[in-house]
Chains A and B, each alone.
Chain A
Amino acid sequence: MDIPTHRLPDYRPRFQQPSAADLCVPTPSVTAEDSNERVMEIFSKYRDLTSLPVTDNGKPIGLINRGIFLTQMNKPFHKEVYSRKSSIAFMDKEPLVVEADMDIETLTFRAVNYGEKALGDGFIITDNGRFTGIGHGLQLMRVVADMQAARNRQIMHSIEYASVIQRSMLRTSRDTMQHTLNDADLVWEPRDVVGGDFYYFVARHDGWFGTVADCTGHGVPGAFMTLIASSCLGQAIDQHGPTDPSLLLCSVNRGIKQMLGQVNGQDETPESDDGMDAACFWYDASTRQLLFAGAKTSLFVLHPGADGVEMVDGDRECVGYVDSGLDFTWQKRTVQMHAGSLVFVTTDGLIDQIGGPKSIAFGKRRIRDLILSKRDRPCNEINRAMQQALNDWQGHNHRRDDVTFFCFRVQEPQ
């Protein structure tokens, strides 16, 4: 059976890229045979007409600007001399002329290159060389602004939907964290809707596992990396269990390298040089020990009664990336916790945020001072104060990176 495809456009709306035709306003025109008296009549009749095209056999040959025309005609004796002469006397012989099917982007560049004249007087629009009307600069700007907004909207819709996927991925971990820990709080603020930071929590009867990680980049590429790193970590936990953070970082390191083809021969340059910084830890409930392995990430620890916040530094080697060793082992550090010990961990987005009176990094000292000053408050209050301090510091500066930080307090045994 024949399908009458040619009829499709009749009943299905079809979007067409806007073109010069969309800007076309039909206007009166004159020919070279018309006199300036006639031009004067038309300008008097159409008060809003800023320019009047002149055509020859339907083809545009010039554009008469109202202001210039009236100034000329009002000069002494000009009316007497020019009234009966041809309308071409005061016309601009080189107006911008474009075809109706010219796309808006090309038209915009043409108009801008043509200069103020094309935007002020307007430009002539033709169909196969024949005059059809005039386009105006203001209307062109409106269409360009609309197109710009539509493009932005389309990109933002795409990213917003990506954000739904990224948040769903993080959701299980956040729920686990909230159900497992009595006094804990987590802040995850991607800079651009989606981001390169992620977290991962697993609970077991004998303790719990947590990770706060910062993948290369932010935005969409960063979010891709979180999916890769997070699934590598999930597989590593399935394989090795959650109790050895050092082993898990090694496993994620290999996973990322393999997945992104970073393990090629030495003279071959891999396309991806990406990876992550991370803090990985297992809290052993029976011994109250925190086993920690860190890749360019430190723990801030404040024990009850201690004078100051203690830093537990990780290794300086990143996870993934071309130049980190395939067999690198991140050291496992054991931190003895006590009932009431506070632990705070953050990605570098908080530490490095530019701001303050001198536009410098937020830094670790401000974090330590804030934890110390709020040491008796619940973790969610500490984190709210940290968010506020970051926002105050940032002030009118824009956010430089994704920010994730996690705070928890060791509980009395049940």
Chain B
Amino acid sequence: METLYIGATPSSPEVNFDFAKHHLSIRGESYPENAAAFYGEIIKRLREYLGNCSQTRITVDISLAYFNSSSTKMLFNIFEAFNSAVTAGNEIVLNWYHDEEDDTILEFGQELHIDFPLITFFDHPVKTA
């Protein structure tokens, strides 16, 4: 499947889904005016890809410094898709990156871990100068 790449803008993250390498990443900030429009196609492509995966180890890197509440809804849809992919026999490794002092993003990651226990979750506090 062809890689899905969307460049970052000030209000939307960089999305780099390298389906061939089973490596997906989302980086930046997310508060587009219409989150459903921004994430709609991304989630559609993701579901197609996950539907074709079996016994696959998929690595997901997420590094978001800010996301608004409508983006949160969309992220949950993405994680639900990952959760189902695990039920279907795949392994999802989620690397959750945040600044070591950013408790807000840390807490969100912890909540994700509780809500989606099937996803293998790694918290990565990042040291910055």
Query: What is A's interface to B at a CB cutoff of 8 Å?
Result: 214, 216-219, 273-274, 277, 316, 318, 321, 348, 351-352, 354, 358-365, 400-401
Q: Quick one: CB contact mask for B43-71 with A, threshold 8 Å, 1 for yes?
A: 00000000000000000000001101110
A361 & B31 in contact (Cβ 8 Å cutoff): no
B68 & A401 in contact (Cβ 8 Å cutoff): yes
Chain B residues with CB below 8 A from A361, complex form: 65-66, 102-105
9 A-B pairs closest in CB distance: A361-B104, A360-B102, A360-B99, A363-B103, A354-B66, A363-B104, A358-B128, A216-B70, A358-B99
A sample of 15 inter-chain contacts (CB < 8 A) reads A216-B69, A218-B68, A219-B33, A273-B73, A316-B111, A348-B69, A352-B68, A358-B101, A360-B99, A360-B104, A361-B105, A363-B104, A400-B66, A401-B31, A401-B68
A360 & B73 in contact (Cβ 8 Å cutoff): no
CB distance from A279 to the nearest CB of B (A): 15
B70 & A217 in contact (Cβ 8 Å cutoff): yes
A363 & B102 in contact (Cβ 8 Å cutoff): yes
Please give the number of chain B residues whose Cβ is less than 8 angstroms from any Cβ of chain A in the complex: 19
Bound-state Cα–Cα, A358 to B68, Å: 19
Bound-state Cα–Cα, A316 to B72, Å: 13
Chain A residues with CB below 8 A from B99, complex form: 358, 360
Chain B residues with CB below 8 A from A321, complex form: 73
The closest CB in chain B to the CB of A365 belongs to B103
Bound-state Cα–Cα, A217 to B31, Å: 9
A359 & B104 in contact (Cβ 8 Å cutoff): no
Query: What is B's interface to A at a CB cutoff of 8 Å?
Result: 29, 31, 33, 36, 65-66, 68-70, 73, 98-99, 101-105, 111, 128
Contact flag A352-B73 (CB < 8 Å), given A273-B36, A400-B68:
no
A-B contact number at CB 8 A: 52
Q: Which one of B29, B98, B103 contacts A354 once the chains associate, using CB atoms below 8 Å?
A: B29
Bound-state Cα–Cα, A401 to B65, Å: 14
The closest CB in chain A to the CB of B99 belongs to A360
CB distance from A78 to the nearest CB of B (A): 52
A277 & B66 in contact (Cβ 8 Å cutoff): no
Bound-state Cα–Cα, A359 to B70, Å: 21
Chain B residues with CB below 8 A from A360, complex form: 65, 98-99, 101-102, 104-105
A351 & B73 in contact (Cβ 8 Å cutoff): no
Residue from A218, A277, A352, A401 with most neighbouring chain B CB atoms (10 Å): A352
Chain B residues with CB below 8 A from A318, complex form: 69
B104 & A352 in contact (Cβ 8 Å cutoff): yes
Bound-state Cα–Cα, A360 to B64, Å: 10
Chain A residues with CB below 8 A from B104, complex form: 351-352, 360-364
Chain A residues with CB below 8 A from B36, complex form: 273
The closest CB in chain A to the CB of B98 belongs to A360
Chain A residues with CB below 8 A from B111, complex form: 316
The closest CB in chain A to the CB of B104 belongs to A361
Bound-state Cα–Cα, A321 to B104, Å: 23
CB distance from A359 to the nearest CB of B (A): 6
Bound-state Cα–Cα, A359 to B99, Å: 9
Knowing that A273-B36, A316-B111, A351-B104 are A-B contacts, what are 8 other residue pairs whose CB atoms are under 8 Å apart, sorted by A's residue number? Answer: A352-B104, A360-B98, A361-B102, A361-B105, A363-B102, A400-B31, A400-B68, A401-B31
B73 & A214 in contact (Cβ 8 Å cutoff): no
Bound-state Cα–Cα, A214 to B31, Å: 15
CB distance from A351 to the nearest CB of B (A): 6
Bound-state Cα–Cα, A277 to B69, Å: 9
Chain B residues with CB below 8 A from A277, complex form: 69
The closest CB in chain A to the CB of B69 belongs to A216
Chain B residues with CB below 8 A from A218, complex form: 68
Contact flag A364-B103 (CB < 8 Å), given A273-B36, A316-B111:
yes
Chain B residues with CB below 8 A from A359, complex form: 65
Chain B residues with CB below 8 A from A400, complex form: 29, 31, 66, 68
